[in-house]
A and B are shown apart, each in its own frame.
Chain A
Amino acid sequence: MTAFGDPVDAVIIGAGIVGCAMARRFSLEGASVVVIERAPDILSGASKANSAILHTGFDAPPGSVELQCVQAGYDEYMQIRKDFNLPILDTGAMVAAWDDSEEGRLPELLDQALLNGVADARLLSRAEVLAREPALGAHVRAALLVPREVIIDPWSAPLAYATQAKALGAQFRFNAGLLSARLDGRLWHLELPAGTVTARSVVNCSGIHGDTVERILLGEAQFEIRPRKGQFIVFDKAAAKHLRTILLPVPTARTKGVVLTRTIFGNLLVGPTAEEQEERERPDVTRPELDMLFAKAVELVPALAQAQVTAVYAGLRPASEEKHYRVHSLPEKGYFCAGGIRSTGLTAALGIARHVHGLWAQSQAASGKPTVAPQTFTLPNLAEHLPRDWQTPGHDGIVCHCEMVTGREIEAALGSPLPPGDFGGLRRRTRCAMGRCQGFNCLARLASLTEGRLSVPIAPEVDR
């Protein structure tokens, strides 16, 4: 069995949003880190499929770790985003009420927002709502406006965190699912398909497998993951003109509900559903739910009846048997867990990373290592409302015409410090084949351009 190098300070299990942010924070604070991920690329679990909203925490449980992490994550994102060229689409959000009982709940939501420090939240009358969003269904009653909720690029942000971690020395191992683990005195030995890693501590960021991984490490788990599926429909770009503000429903105890929002890529998104399921590996889309989402979108914005569908997808939230985050630690064993990050992880990741790193640092005997120079670099912009590569002279032509992705961008992604491991990873780094034709025009070309450069190739065989 090969051992991969010397023991490191921390192994981070899982390269979802949380694992990527964790790797960055630990690396920034001077810790040596290995990230192990069972998939061929980062963002292969819950983190590949979300609504891409950067939340203010206006509706989070007051006093919770979640609220603290969401707000810390929000602030840190806003602080660092310019360094990495990470975009926001400044939309604001509206919790819209469509009947008496929903309207009756708006004041209490406002109170909660104010209590959570979201001081600019305010109620809008029906006339104000319609003035802001004239395409909304006429039966809208009122809304709570949360001006600082914005849309981000859900893939470039964690990619920036991971790339920075890598620049600071973090190692990433893909196709490296944890098989078994042994704690030997003060050292963890983690067995992977291609060898073992040794570390002084382990940070569990394994999302949908948070409990499984905890069981592998500790023999038992303090929590149980209850996957909750969210399905989405992405409408074509022409539909995006109908809405500016993120449209949120009045939340229920179980879910934030079905959202209608623009994406940073210029589309309009409706979803997610909230469906409990046992199965952890199969985020499938299903017809009745997609039909329901379509109907819901038309109910909210009637003009969408004619909208074209660009894509459908589903994500599995790593929810647990309880509503709150499952963040805990066993310092004496060098075990730290950021589990059950079900529906706000995109926003909270940077905050969770700070929080967990804090727990870890407390457990370290020495006063900790010196922090290192942060190493920033810019990521290619994928946001539709900001200058894209195709607008800049000198590219060698467009490969994906629906999303206007140039050959230069594909090449840059393949040659980047954290190159894609599979086609999904390439799509998330460039937007290629994500548009209305879903590869009708470019898929074959992309198979050739990526030949020998993805650990899971687009097409398996070559016939010449």
Chain B
Amino acid sequence: MIAETYDVAIVGGGPAGLSAAIELKRRGVEKVALCERGAEAGGIPRHCGHPPFGMREFGRILTGPTYARRLVAAAAATGVTILTKHAVVHAGPDGLLTVATPAGIQTIRAARILIATGARETTRAQLLVPGVRPLGVMNTAALQAFVYQEGRVPFRHPVIVGSELVSLSAILTCRSHGIRPVAMVETEQEVQARPAFFALPRMLGVPVMTDAQVLAIEGSPRVTSVRLRLAGGTETALACDGVIFSGRFIPEAALVEASALALDLGTGGPVIDQHGRSSDPNIFAAGNMVHPIETAGHCWDEGRRVARVIAAGLANAKDAEPDKTPGRRIIAGAGLKYVVPQRLTPEGKGTAPTLNLRALGAARGRLILSDGSGTVLRTQNINSAPKKPIRFPLAGLDLAVDSSDLQLRLEPRP
């Protein structure tokens, strides 16, 4: 079989993949293919029938589907080859992509590959939630696909498990479709998004229960109740006809795993450097695949930045053989779930990145960046909700002086 050849092949047609594709074309890269496994490109926003999307990109607030359509139209207008129903099952070190299409298995060859396959929410199974397994248990994204894409209401009185931003999105989705959530249950001690946001459930009469454990999901064939142990230790059963497991995003990393790229246990996505380059110098990654999870605007911006690096690399003949030095590792130390990027390469000096990190639990205290000898290079005080993204700028630091591992840790406030 003869492989179709491209300069860059992008895997995943969400905000990150689409913005990268557009930027590549703008920078004169000739042949750009975007493989999207779904019937349309647009990614998760396609079924988020609510705002806010698009502020950064289009200067106005849009709903997800409108935003997705605009991004796709912009990509098509710049001449990106958008290949829908193209699921990439393997990305080889030689720039070969194996793609499942309705016409069978096809091969695409590209000088550079960008993986932007997004993230998904953790399932009930992964959380090892006890009980039986009735119909009516799903993630927020599935609920949104039900109501916004398929025009169906899967339940009327669900319990929402989780208290991240997306959990609030679940409440809004419910309310706009005549669904009345029974309660919002958080297993951690405190809500995971900014506390002020929880005026919303309170206003809507949805009780928020923190530090509550799900003892069992009951019902057959559909959910009839959820048994809980509440913060004080009392047990209770909430009658309901559905359960929404919201948040706890993990990268859609099947392709990364199948392709044997180095994985970071903290993010669950590929190890990348500040340019988005993975352990294979020709394969890049961007979007929620590398940091579960940020807003669409953030992913869009990141897609653009990685595209600039790729375009520059392709344009500059002497850089065509990319730098393969491993660079300096950045390790997520005590109190941190992950730090992105996980490596700093000397290439493109001067573009000192901002680290993107997440704490394990509440993020209160002092972030400390140190080098291999233990010397403290920079500190920063933080105080934010557990699942809120944290930024740690490296600007102004000269990190090229040695190659020892950098470590970032969180010293909790006493």
Interface residues in chain A, defined as those with a beta carbon under 8 Å from any beta carbon in chain B: 234, 237-238, 281-287, 290-291, 294, 306, 308-313, 390-398, 401-402, 404, 422-423, 436-441, 443-445, 447-448, 456, 458-464
Q: Are B265 and A306 in contact (CB under 8 A)?
A: yes
Q: Are B102 and A461 in contact (CB under 8 A)?
A: no
Given A441-B120, A445-B145: A309 touches B150 (CB 8 Å cut-off): no
Contact with A along B147-188 (1 / 0, CB 8 A): 101111111100000000000000000000110000000000
Interfacial residues of chain B within 191-235, with CB under 8 A of chain A in the complex: 216, 220-222
Q: Are B125 and A312 in contact (CB under 8 A)?
A: yes
Residue ID in chain A nearest B39 by CB atoms: A397
Q: Are A443 and B138 in contact (CB under 8 A)?
A: yes
Q: B105 at interface (Cβ–Cβ under 8 A)?
A: yes
Q: Are A422 and B221 in contact (CB under 8 A)?
A: yes
A-B contact pairs, 17 of them (CB 8 A): A238-B257, A284-B130, A286-B130, A291-B128, A311-B125, A391-B104, A393-B103, A393-B104, A397-B39, A398-B87, A439-B139, A456-B221, A459-B153, A459-B154, A461-B152, A461-B153, A463-B177
Q: Are B37 and A398 in contact (CB under 8 A)?
A: yes
Q: Are A443 and B146 in contact (CB under 8 A)?
A: yes
Residues on B with C-beta less than 8 A from A422 are 221
Instruction: Name the one of A282, A311, A393, A464 contacting B132, with C-beta atoms under 8 angstroms.
Output: A282
Q: Are A459 and B123 in contact (CB under 8 A)?
A: no
Q: Which 7 A-B pairs have the closest CB atoms?
A: A444-B145, A393-B104, A459-B154, A438-B123, A444-B146, A397-B85, A463-B153
Cβ-Cβ contact count across A and B, 8 Å cutoff: 137
Q: Are A447 and B154 in contact (CB under 8 A)?
A: yes
Q: B133 at interface (Cβ–Cβ under 8 A)?
A: yes
Residue ID in chain B nearest A397 by CB atoms: B85
Interfacial residues of chain B within 242-272, with CB under 8 A of chain A in the complex: 250, 252, 254, 257-258, 265
Q: B71 at interface (Cβ–Cβ under 8 A)?
A: no
Q: Are A437 and B152 in contact (CB under 8 A)?
A: no
Q: Bound state CA distance, A368 and B44, in angstroms? A: 63
Given A290-B128, A463-B177, A464-B151: A447 touches B146 (CB 8 Å cut-off): yes
Instruction: Name the one of B100, B132, B146, B265 contacting A404, with C-beta atoms under 8 angstroms.
Output: B100
Residues on B with C-beta less than 8 A from A306 are 265
Residue ID in chain A nearest B215 by CB atoms: A287
Q: Are B221 and A459 in contact (CB under 8 A)?
A: no
Q: Are A437 and B125 in contact (CB under 8 A)?
A: no
Residues on A with C-beta less than 8 A from B47 are 444
Q: Bound state CA distance, A396 and B104, in angstroms? A: 10
Residues on A with C-beta less than 8 A from B151 are 462-464
Q: Are A440 and B135 in contact (CB under 8 A)?
A: no
Minimum CB–CB distance for B169 against chain A, Å = 14
Q: Are A401 and B128 in contact (CB under 8 A)?
A: no
Q: B377 at interface (Cβ–Cβ under 8 A)?
A: no
Q: Are B135 and A458 in contact (CB under 8 A)?
A: yes
Q: Are B130 and A287 in contact (CB under 8 A)?
A: yes
Instruction: Name the one of A282, A397, A436, A459 contacting B146, with C-beta atoms under 8 angstroms.
Output: A459
Contact with A along B67-107 (1 / 0, CB 8 A): 00000000000000000010101000000000010111100
Q: Are A440 and B37 in contact (CB under 8 A)?
A: no
Residues on A with C-beta less than 8 A from B350 are none
Residues on B with C-beta less than 8 A from A462 are 151-153
Q: Are B120 and A440 in contact (CB under 8 A)?
A: yes
Interfacial residues of chain B within 378-406, with CB under 8 A of chain A in the complex: none
Q: Bound state CA distance, A261 and B250, in angstroms? A: 26
Interface residues in chain B, defined as those with a beta carbon under 8 Å from any beta carbon in chain A: 37, 39, 47, 85, 87, 89, 100, 102-105, 120-121, 123-126, 128, 130-133, 135, 138-139, 141-142, 145-147, 149-156, 177-178, 216, 220-222, 250, 252, 254, 257-258, 265
Residues on B with C-beta less than 8 A from A440 are 120-121, 123, 138-139, 141-142
Apart from A312-B128, A398-B100, A440-B123: 14 A-B pairs, beta carbons within 8 A: A285-B133, A287-B130, A310-B126, A391-B100, A398-B37, A401-B37, A436-B123, A439-B142, A441-B141, A444-B154, A447-B150, A447-B152, A459-B154, A462-B153
Residues on A with C-beta less than 8 A from B149 are 444-445
Q: Are B102 and A439 in contact (CB under 8 A)?
A: no
Given A459-B146, A464-B151: A281 touches B220 (CB 8 Å cut-off): yes
Residues on B with C-beta less than 8 A from A438 are 123-125, 139
Instruction: Name the one of B104, B121, B221 contacting A392, with C-beta atoms under 8 angstroms.
Output: B104
Q: Bound state CA distance, A392 and B141, in angstroms? A: 30
Residues on A with C-beta less than 8 A from B139 are 437-440
Q: Are B152 and A394 in contact (CB under 8 A)?
A: no
Instruction: Name the one of B100, B126, B147 contacting A308, with C-beta atoms under 8 angstroms.
Output: B126
Minimum CB–CB distance for A409 against chain B, Å = 13
Minimum CB–CB distance for B143 against chain A, Å = 8
Instruction: Name the one of B121, B125, B131, B150 contacting A310, with C-beta atoms under 8 angstroms.
Output: B125
Q: Are A439 and B138 in contact (CB under 8 A)?
A: yes
Given A391-B105, A460-B222: A284 touches B132 (CB 8 Å cut-off): yes
Q: Which of B39, B47, B121, B177 has the most CB of A within 10 A?
A: B39
Q: Are A309 and B39 in contact (CB under 8 A)?
A: no
Minimum CB–CB distance for B138 against chain A, Å = 6
Minimum CB–CB distance for A446 against chain B, Å = 10
Residues on B with C-beta less than 8 A from A294 are 128
Residues on B with C-beta less than 8 A from A444 are 47, 142, 145-146, 149-150, 152, 154
Q: Bound state CA distance, A389 and B85, in angstroms? A: 15
Q: Bound state CA distance, A339 and B151, in angstroms? A: 46
Q: Are A448 and B152 in contact (CB under 8 A)?
A: yes
Q: Are B100 and A390 in contact (CB under 8 A)?
A: yes
Minimum CB–CB distance for B289 against chain A, Å = 14
Q: Bound state CA distance, A59 and B379, in angstroms? A: 64
Given A393-B102, A437-B123, A445-B150: A313 touches B133 (CB 8 Å cut-off): yes
Residues on A with C-beta less than 8 A from B250 are 308
Minimum CB–CB distance for B161 against chain A, Å = 14
Residue ID in chain B nearest A401 by CB atoms: B37
Residues on B with C-beta less than 8 A from A281 are 220
Instruction: Name the one of A283, A290, A392, A398 contacting B85, with C-beta atoms under 8 angstroms.
Output: A398
Q: Bound state CA distance, A294 and B126, in angstroms? A: 12
Q: Bound state CA distance, A444 and B138, in angstroms? A: 10
Q: Bound state CA distance, A238 and B152, in angstroms? A: 34
Minimum CB–CB distance for B319 against chain A, Å = 33
